[in-house]
Amino acid sequence: MADSSGVHQYGNILLGGRGGTNPGQLKIHPGGFLWKKSGGGKVVEVAKGDISSLNWTRVPKGYQLAIRLKAGSNVKFNGFREQDISNLNNFLSSNLGLTPEDRPLAISGRNWGDAELEGNILSFMVGGKQAFEISVADVSQTQLQGKNEVVVEFHVDDTTSANEKDTLMEISFHIPSTNATFVGDDERP
């Protein structure tokens, strides 16, 4: 809801990350975003000038707003409702000069697709839709196993885990020799 100063405030918005999600309060104001964890603690601030793009993704039971930063990382907020979208789109485009684009979720359940690395974000795309995204910043190491497998290990961080019972520790990708894009690509940290 917007008050007279043009601030949109949402009471139950989940900040997503490697450790799961944390509930909090989100303020969207003409200068950017301010999220505060319920009960205090973590604060996430995003200034308008740091944002490179915005995306809406329809997720189970609502919508996710993904904020991609010029620095290469992203911030994801879950818990928006359908009626928030048109309202916010107007606000975001007139105040931030950015119109969120739709980024549909891949839900076919396939384990094959394309990996796209942009900034710190590795997106696994299935049929041109987003299956999941991981942040390179959370990666403790990657290693090449054999000729065709890249193993990505995540930092163990017990301080951030929220409502998550099962925590992602490792993911590996098989890159067939028929794929020329990633063969010999050791650019990734």
Residues that bind another protein (CB under 8 A): 14, 16-18, 20-21, 58-61, 64, 76, 78, 105, 107-115, 124, 131-135, 149, 151, 156, 163-176, 178-182
* Smallest separation (angstroms) from another protein to the CB of 53: 18
Output the CA–CA distances (angstroms, integers) from residue 78 to 49, 53, 62, 141, 169, in the order listed.
22, 17, 7, 28, 22
Residue closer to another protein by CB (options 42, 58) is 58
Residue closer to another protein by CB (options 6, 112) is 112
Give the burial string for 155-188 (b: 16+ CB within 10 Å, else e). eeeeeeeeeeeeeeeeeebebeeeeeebeeeeee
* Smallest separation (angstroms) from another protein to the CB of 183: 11
Residue closer to another protein by CB (options 18, 36) is 18
Instruction: Name 35's bridge partners.
Output: 26, 44
Residues 6+ apart with CB under 8 A from 125: 106, 113, 114, 115, 116, 131
* Smallest separation (angstroms) from another protein to the CB of 2: 26
Residue closer to another protein by CB (options 6, 127) is 127
* Smallest separation (angstroms) from another protein to the CB of 107: 4
Residue closer to another protein by CB (options 35, 78) is 78
* Smallest separation (angstroms) from another protein to the CB of 7: 25
Residue closer to another protein by CB (options 27, 58) is 58
* Smallest separation (angstroms) from another protein to the CB of 72: 16
Element (H, E) at 93: helix 82-95
Question: Could you give the CA distance from residue 82 to residue 57 in angstroms, rounded to a whole number?
Answer: 11
Q: Are the C-beta atoms of residues 183 and 177 closer than 8 Å to each other?
A: yes
